[in-house]
């Protein structure tokens, strides 16, 4: 389970299908929380690491945003769109430095947490860019002259407006997804499939 915005939403929906454990909280100092009776072990980790734990089988399943799945390029099964944590990945620039066309930003610098997604997007449009990987406060890039633009996740757009940035193109939509390790999915197919079925019922209701 990922720390941050997805944690409580993930814990809530899992609790509705009976997947929980005593003390399961993002604020817990424990990184692994176990429910022996239900044969469940919850691993709490940074968002970007969830696909890695699942790909290598340290976790059988995980909940993570579509954006992180695409960026990580990990070899996992995507089982279910959980529908929550809706946001989208976009490119934004300072309002006072906006250019007429997207192509006018070719050969400029982009600050982003998602260099792979950004590169794939710009390459598909025949644009060469310089990518600067940041891990936080992406909006600072153009403000301090580190980059001409940013590629980042947006939910409401409030942070963009507060920093005088304007979205100029949407790159992809993202919601939370249930993913599984490929071997675990085969070995524990019935249990994982039952979870998917139960979650689907919750989502429909």
Smallest Cα–Cα separation from 119: which of 165, 65, 71? 71
Architecture of domain 87-173 in this structure: 3-Layer(aba) Sandwich (3.40)
Q: CATH homologous superfamily for 5-85+175-204?
A: Periplasmic binding protein-like II (3.40.190.10)
Asked whether the predicted pLDDT for residue 142 surpasses 90, the reply is yes
Cα(107)–Cα(59) distance, integer angstroms: 41
Asked whether the predicted pLDDT for residue 197 surpasses 90, the reply is yes
Asked whether the predicted pLDDT for residue 77 surpasses 90, the reply is yes
Measured between its terminal Cα atoms, the distance across the chain in Å is: 23
Cα(91)–Cα(147) distance, integer angstroms: 12
pTM: 0.92
Q: Which residue shows structure tokens 């929550």? A: 84
pLDDT at residue 85 in the model = 95
Mean pLDDT of the 165-175 span = 97
Q: Do domains 5-85+175-204 and 87-173 have the same CATH topology?
A: yes
Confidence tier at 24 by pLDDT (50, 70, 90): very high
Asked whether the predicted pLDDT for residue 28 surpasses 90, the reply is no
pLDDT tens string 103-141: 999 999 999 999 999 999 999 999 999 999 999 899 999
Instruction: Break the chain into its structural domains and give their ranges.
Output: 5-85+175-204, 87-173
């Amino acid at each position: 389970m990922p720390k941050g915005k997805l944690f409580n939403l993930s814990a809530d929906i899992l609790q509705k299908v009976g997947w929980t454990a005593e003390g399961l909280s993002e604020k817990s100092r424990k990184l692994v929380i176990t429910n022996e009776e239900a044969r469940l072990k919850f691993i709490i980790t940074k968002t970007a690491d969830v696909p890695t734990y699942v790909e290598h089988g340290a976790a059988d399943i995980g909940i993570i945003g579509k954006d992180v799945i695409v960026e990580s390029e990990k070899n996992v099964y995507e089982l279910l769109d959980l529908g929550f944590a809706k946001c989208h990945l976009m490119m934004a620039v300072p309002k006072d430095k906006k250019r007429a066309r997207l192509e006018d930003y070719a050969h400029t610098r982009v600050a982003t947490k998602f260099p792979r997604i950004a590169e794939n997007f710009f390459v598909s449009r025949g644009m060469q860019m310089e990518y600067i990987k940041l891990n936080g406060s992406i909006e600072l890039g153009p403000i301090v002259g580190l980059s001409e633009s940013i590629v980042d996740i947006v939910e409401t757009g409030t942070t963009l407006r507060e920093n005088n940035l304007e979205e100029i193109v949407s790159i992809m939509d993202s919601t939370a997804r249930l993913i599984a390790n490929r071997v675990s999915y085969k070995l524990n197919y019935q249990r994982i499939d039952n979870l998917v079925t139960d979650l689907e019922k919750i989502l429909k209701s």
